[in-house]
Structures are given as C-alpha cells and as structure tokens.
Amino acid sequence: MKIIDLDDANKPLYFLCLEDWSPEIRESGNRKSTWYDRMKNSGLRVKLAADDDGNIGGMIQYLPIEHTHVSGKGLFFIYCIWVHGYKEGRGDFQKKGLGSSLLKAAEEDARSSGAAGMAAWGLSLPFWMKASWFRKHGYRKADRDGMAVLLWKPFAENASPPEWIKRKKKPARVPGRVTVTSFVNGWCPAQNLAYERARRASEEFGEKVVFREVDTLDRNNLEEWGICDALYIDDAQVRTGPPPSYESIRKKIEKKVKKLK
C-alpha cells in the first residue's frame, strides 16, 4: 500500500468515507462535501491508503486544532482514521497496517508544517477509533468526556495539551410541542445520517414537533453550546453512535408526542 494525498478523482469516494457501495451512507446527504469545501482553506489535510492498482482502503483527515471543536494551540487534530473493514464494496483492508501508515504519514506532514504536536480523539471502549490504539502509537490522555478520550503526542517541549470544549447548556423545550434539536458539524457522515433521519421523522408529526438545526461549523454556535454533534428530543440526548435507525428515532418522537396535553 502507498499513502497518497486526496485528489479530485477520489473526492466522491472520500465524501462517502469509502462506502460508495452503501445505500445507507448516501442518506447522509452532501454535508460532508460542504464541510470539506468550508474547511479546505483552513488547513484541512486528507490522505488515502491505496494499493498498486489504485484501490483505496483507508483514509485520515486532520486539521489545525484552532479550526476544530477542540480547544488547543499549535497542534493538528485528527478527526478520524478509517480503514474499510466490510466485505461489501472494496472489501476488508483492516489488520494490514494501513491505519499505522496513515497515522505516520499525517504526523510527518504535521511536523513538516511546524506543528507542536498531534491530537486525536478515541473511545475508551473497544469500538471504532479506540483510545488504546492511539496509546500504542505513543499518544497519552489529555482530557476526557465520558467515553470520549482526547489524546495527544507532543512534538515540541513547549507544546500545550488540548482540552475538550465542554457542553455549556442543553436545548430548551417549546411548551405544548415536542422539540427535536440536531447539532450538526458535517465532518462525519454517521452524524449527518442521524440529522437527516431526525429531520424526516420530525416532519411526519406536523405542528406537534419543532425541529431545530444548530450548525456547529459556525464557531459562534459551537462556543455558545459547547456541542459539536448531538441529537436531543426535548432536553434528553439520543445516542447517535452508531447512528440510530429512522424507525428508532421516529418511535422516540412518537412516544413524546403521545404525552402532549
């Protein structure tokens, strides 16, 4: 495998996170491409892992931390590393060292750009983006928010650790109606999918449901709420990783609607 920079030919595949075979991922709409267009001039970097025939098996995307939903200075932040692991489509590329190669290439790129270090997020549980995987590659914990661990690897002695931007408030209810609030940034199709399903489900109930979108790619909104991607029904947060089905979201909304007076 070789590591290459994202080019125009591979952008459609990148926007679908290498899952061009999946009808589900296409439900997420075009928010990923919109996010890319808005962030490419802020230093967004994308690298892909390709074999000799040009088949893409993995990707990494990272950005100067000042333009992300994480607080820090002089670092690059890794939004995600993804190595395709399904039998469908391009097949299973995992456990072949692609992730490590992508991480190494990104770190070398960040160093050459003058970054003081690299930051990433991971989960404390053994799922996608495992914090333990980053620790094996020399990263250490900088902050934590529930299962989400913020990790970093300093390149310079004067580097400062990053911090999560903490949640500052929750959505308020609208009296006499169910309130569905979607905070959406655009970087992750899984979160975009949750947004699209919640929007569609809300529309089914007409005036009984208020659907509100908060664009957290707008820095003012991010700072106001301290939330990047999340879904709330009234003031209760709905787990969105992995993205809940349309039917699941609709049932949650319907349950609330039935309790309206």
pLDDT tens sequence across 151-176: 999 999 999 999 999 999 999 999 99
Is pLDDT of 127 > 80? Answer: no
For strands 236-238 and 230-233, give the pairing: antiparallel
- The arithmetic mean of pLDDT across residues 68-97, rounded, is 95
Average pLDDT, the chain: 95
pLDDT at residue 249 in the model: 98
- The arithmetic mean of pLDDT across residues 71-75, rounded, is 97
Residue in 250, 254, 248, 230 with CA at minimum distance from that of residue 240: 230
CA pair distance 40, 177, nearest whole angstrom: 39
Tell whether domain 2-161 is in CATH 3.20.20.450.
no
Is pLDDT of 47 > 90? Answer: yes
Residue 195, CA distances (Å) to 16, 70, 201, 249 in order: 16, 21, 10, 10
Beta bridge partners of 78: 62, 120
| Domain 178-258 homologous superfamily, CATH | Glutaredoxin (3.40.30.10)
- The arithmetic mean of pLDDT across residues 35-45, rounded, is 96
pLDDT at residue 53 in the model: 85
Domain segments of the chain as ranges: 2-161, 178-258
Local structure of 160: helix, strand or coil: coil
Residue in 129, 148, 150 with CA at minimum distance from that of residue 139: 150
Query: Which of 113-117, 122-126, 149-153 comes out lowest in average pLDDT?
Result: 122-126
- The arithmetic mean of pLDDT across residues 24-41, rounded, is 94
232: left (phi over 0), alpha (psi -120 to 50) or beta: beta
Beta strands in 131-233 (DSSP E): 140-145, 148-154, 163-164, 178-184, 209-215, 230-233
pLDDT at residue 41 in the model: 94
pLDDT tens sequence across 167-210: 999 999 999 999 999 999 999 999 999 999 999 999 999 999 99
pLDDT tens sequence across 92-109: 999 999 999 999 999 999
Is pLDDT of 241 > 90? Answer: no
Is pLDDT of 88 > 90? Answer: yes
Domains 2-161 and 178-258 share a fold: no
Q: What tokens appear for 42 in the block?
A: 């802020």
Local structure of 66: helix, strand or coil: helix
Q: Angle between the 31-39 and 189-203 helix axes, to the nearest 10 degrees?
A: 130
